[in-house]
Amino acid sequence: MNNIISIPMGDPAGIGPEITVKALNNKEIYDQCAPLVVGNKEVLKNAMEMTGVTLDTNAITNPNEGKYTFGTIDVISLDNLDVSELRIGEVQKQAGAAAFEYIKTSINMAMDGEVSALATTPINKESLQAAEVPYIGHTEMLGELTNSEDPLTMFEVLNMRIFFLTRHVSLKDAIGQMTTERVYTYLRRCNQALKQLGVEDGNIAVAGLNPHSGENGLFGREEIDEIIPGINKAVEEGIKVEGPVPADSVFYHALNGKYSAVLSLYHDQGHIAAKMTDFERTISITNGLPFLRTSVDHGTAFDIAGTGKASSVSMEECIKLAAKYSQSFYKV
């Protein structure tokens, strides 16, 4: 079957298994794609007991063996976990090692063209560290294991797409990174990412940094000295860019269809806009890989793991978005 979406189960001690079985209890998922879990069959069965979900499981060894029918979870069940020793809601070496293997298996299948995309669940950095996995998160794993340099993150929520010029640095350091060359380079990358997702002839708005985008230098010169020259350089190459557009209005306009995407200048500028729009439906897409990858934007939630309380809305949206873009996605 076409459009197989691989779902690595995530840290087995976290909420990943629970939100996976809850999501796959929604028939809409099967109407849009063929979901395939990579994880552990027994952990999934335990997650169903925790959540009150009643589904069958079908353990397979390769994607071609899947049934992909609502009511049955197809799972490539790896024998890499002692379930009797698994402690829900705790950092554990075996859980970190297992989570990494689920992801690695999914990546290999995507690289071989056996699945159309990955929709990833949460992993735990401390568990990865305990297992001596040499990566701190998904992005680093994906970049290294696919030989992709500096993967580009994009958020999508409802009708709004957001890219990030800077990520996990202090605000002071982020401003220092807002150079003409970086703005220009990222606009080129954002434009390419939109095309890769099937968004042709897209237009990008660059968010302003200072109040009113600096008001012609009255409230700061970053827009004049660095951001506008970077925009102009991209426009000269034929990229459709507007800005800088004041940050207090640019996301509203993007949400209402004026822009195909917004380039947020720093981490919280874009995160706040997305998560205030709809926290649970904010989904992360990793661009610049040989395949499509979507991800929930929350953690393993050890504090509620095993209670069945975790919402699966984000996981459902994550799978649906992978299904949506996998139809038009092309490899870099």
CA torsion 163-168-171-173 (nearest 10°) is -110
Dihedral-angle region of residue 37 (phi above 0 means left; psi in -120 to 50 means alpha; beta otherwise) = beta
**Helix (H, G, I), strand (E, B), or coil: what is residue 69?**
coil
> What does the domain layout of the chain look like in residue ranges?
4-151+288-326, 153-276
Q: What is the DSSP string of 2-47?
A: --EEEEE---TTSSHHHHHHHHTT-HHHHHH-EEEEEE-HHHHHHH
Q: Give pTM, 2 decimals.
A: 0.90
Structure-token pair, residue 121: 């669940």
CA atoms within 13 A on the CB side of 269: 29
- Rounded CA gap, 120 and 204, in Å? 27
Residue closest to 319 by CA, chosen among 8, 101, 51, 97: 8
Q: State which of 70-79, 143-152, 209-218 shows the largest mean pLDDT.
A: 70-79
| Res 330: pLDDT | 64
Structure-token pair, residue 4: 């197989």
Q: How far is CA 258 from CA 5, 186, 233, in A?
A: 31, 20, 22
- Candidates 1.10.3720.10, 3.40.190.10, 2.20.25.90, 3.40.718.10; correct CATH number of 4-151+288-326? 3.40.718.10
- Rounded CA gap, 257 and 193, in Å? 18
Instruction: Check pLDDT > 80 for residue 153.
Output: yes
For 68, phi then psi, to 5°, come to 55, 50
pLDDT band, residue 254 (cuts 50/70/90):
very high
List of residues 6+ apart from 81 with CB closer than 8 A: 12, 40, 43, 94, 95, 98
Give the CATH class of 153-276.
Answer: alpha beta
What secondary structure, in 3-state letters, does 232-299 show?
HHHHHCCCCEEEEECHHHHHHHHHCCCCCEEEECCHHHHHHHHHHHHCCCCEEEEECCCCEEEEECCC
Q: Residue 244: is the preceding peptide bond cis (ω within 30°)? A: yes
Say whether 153-276 and 4-151+288-326 share the same fold: yes
Q: Picking from 29-33, 35-39, 168-172, which range would have the lowest pLDDT averaged per residue?
A: 168-172
| Res 95: pLDDT | 96
Q: Picking from 12-16, 94-98, 318-322, 323-327, which range would have the lowest pLDDT averaged per residue?
A: 323-327
List of residues 6+ apart from 44 with CB closer than 8 A: 9, 17, 20, 21, 37, 57, 73, 75
| Res 331: pLDDT | 59
What percent of the chain lies above the pLDDT cut of 90? 89
Is the separation of the CB atoms in 9 and 38 below 8 Å?
yes
